[in-house]
A and B are shown apart, each in its own frame.
Chain A
Amino acid sequence: MIELGVIDIREKIFSGELTSEQITKAYVDEIKKSNINAVIEIFDDAIDTAKQMDERIKNGYRGKLAGVPILVKDNILIKGKHCSAGSLFLKDYIAEYTSTVAQKLIDEGAILLGRTNMDEFAMGSGTETSFYGKTLNPHDNSRVPGGSSGGSAAAVAANLCAAALGTDTGGSIRQPSSYCGVVGIKPAYGRVSRYGVIAFASSLDQVGPITKNVEDNALLLEILSGQDKNDETSENEPKVEYLKDYKNSISGLKVGVINSVEDMLKGLESEKNYNLAKQFLIDSGAEIVNLDINNMELVLPVYYIIAPAEATSNLARFDGVKYSRRSEKAKNIDEIYKFSRTEGFGDEVKRRIMLGNYVLSSGYFDAYYNKARSLQAKLRDEFLSAFKNCDIILMPTTKGEAYKLGSKTDPVDAYKEDIFTVSANITGLPSISIPFGSGSTGLPIGMQLLAPHFMEKRLYHLAKFIESNKEIK
């Protein structure tokens, strides 16, 4: 039963075939047996909550997630629970309030099962920088699951939960979804509230679901979305039932492909999957539109200026005064700041704070930060005008299969992992990754779809079409 997804579990619970307690216990057992280190804590009240939920369901409760066990990434706050963003700095931190996204799951009857491992402060592509150790790819334990939501994607793929929440600042939901063979969406910027989510780069961060299939994903995003008075960046967009009028046809759909992306793909492992996807869409009646988008090769350096700049500001709050950790060596206030941060943060976080301060410091601000922001605006305009000629854009999610653990020792080399995913964050566009075949050793590879702002419905329709009609090899 552990291989079931969200909707299947809910239906079986409603029909009396399964209880929430049974499925919750099954996942708890599976997590305890698992060797991939995807889950860093099983909540001790999960089984009791499931028992109470079974009672409520007996009495007629019909929440959209009634009794369904879901894991959340370690940067999403739940009142009274530990939340550490994968960092030693927050090892002992206990959330004082509940994030909007977790509350929305609770309000629909979900059982919050535990928290998943992640790169420290969501900075990484392999879930190798966590204070809690590396997470392994469930399909091949010698490889990374991707990152930073690697724990969430690996847990979904290994059937340690029905679904999980991740966060995506530069690809952190989609890239691990590609590597683990699951479905992950980064919603449009402003679709989902970030209240109670530990911030990395506030103009790029979004929360999204990682699931075993497209329908589960659409249901979860429907629940998570909506304006929140506690997050001023959440937009007043109407709630959409994403798959309500799904038709099993894409005839006449205009799918954009970016010429410069095709150039970058030459010789990469996912080129084959991308070409197969393109051919599949043509065979299914879609029209391919070639797009010229300038400066695509600069989207990655733009991202690696803006994201560290914002991270530097967001991580200034970790000062040894407010959140759980203070260096024991510190004798005065300056030492409290300096020693607590030096002891509490890992290497990658320190590097990005340093780079962020560099691009924001006087003398470099215009050449780096302002220039990056200008290029960001230009890229956004280019994507928006590209959507005048097409409905949706197709891109690979990753360069290929998951890479080997420990193989990315050079930070810039690791950053190049995000080459195809960062443009959705830089432009604020919604983007989904769905499994599409495999690579040279048989491991999963994902394809990515991008749509105009708040047009997640288009993503789900095409994703569902691909999932239903493509014999994934």
Chain B
Amino acid sequence: MISLEELKHLEDLSRLEFTDTAREKILKDINSMIDFASQIQNADCENKSFIKSMDMKDLREDEPKQGLSQEEVISNAPMKRKGCFAVPRIMD
């Protein structure tokens, strides 16, 4: 079970924000989800790695190639300036 404080911390990590009313519902939902996920904790299982070890031959050559143009890359940006993503001033 997580507390309201922990929920607010998760909101911060998630870059999300809930209203006080929405928070009540999400706290209940998240706790039932965590409860559901917690079933695995008693499972008897040694630590095992799922990731297969990588062979150097699996790596591709590091060759430069044509990607998307700068214009294409920023084409969906909500705000752009001089070919760059634009955001409000970060440093005063």
Contact = CB atoms under 8 A, between A and B. Distances in A.
Contact of A304 (B18, B33, B73, B85): B33
A2 interface: no
A354 B30 contact: yes
A354 B14 contact: yes
Interface stretch (A102-110, A278-286, A409-417, A446-454): A409-417
B2 A322 contact: no
Interface in A365-423: 367-368, 370-378, 380, 410-412, 415
B4 interface: no
Contacts of B30: 351, 354-355, 358
A380 B38 CA distance: 20
Contacts of A465: none
Nearest to B47: A374
Contacts of A232: 60
Interface residues of B, number: 43
Contacts of B34: 355, 358
Contacts of B14: 312, 341, 350, 353-354, 357
B37 A374 contact: no
A320 interface: yes
A322 B26 contact: no
Contact of A367 (B15, B41, B60): B41
A301 interface: yes
B24 interface: no
A97 B38 CA distance: 41
Q: How large is the interface on A (under 10, 10 to 19, 20 to 34, 35 or more residues)?
A: 35 or more
Nearest to B30: A354
Contacts of B73: 96
B66 to A, nearest CB: 12
A139 interface: no
A320 B35 CA distance: 32
B72 A96 contact: yes
A415 B36 contact: yes
Contacts, number: 137
B20 to A, nearest CB: 14
Interface in A280-313: 295, 297-298, 301-302, 304-305, 312
A412 B36 contact: yes
A375 B43 contact: yes
A411 B32 contact: yes
B45 to A, nearest CB: 5
Given A304-B36, A332-B88, A351-B26, A374 B48 contact: yes
A371 B40 contact: yes
A355 B33 contact: yes
A458 interface: no
Interface of A: 92-94, 96-97, 229, 232, 295, 297-298, 301-302, 304-305, 312, 319-326, 330-333, 336-339, 341-342, 345, 350-351, 353-355, 357-359, 361, 367-368, 370-378, 380, 410-412, 415
15 contacts: A96-B72, A232-B60, A304-B33, A322-B77, A324-B76, A324-B77, A336-B88, A354-B11, A354-B16, A355-B30, A358-B10, A368-B40, A374-B50, A375-B45, A412-B36
Given A338-B17, A354-B16, A371-B41, 17 more contacts: A97-B72, A297-B39, A301-B36, A304-B36, A305-B40, A320-B78, A324-B76, A324-B77, A336-B88, A350-B26, A351-B30, A351-B33, A357-B10, A358-B2, A368-B37, A378-B45, A378-B48
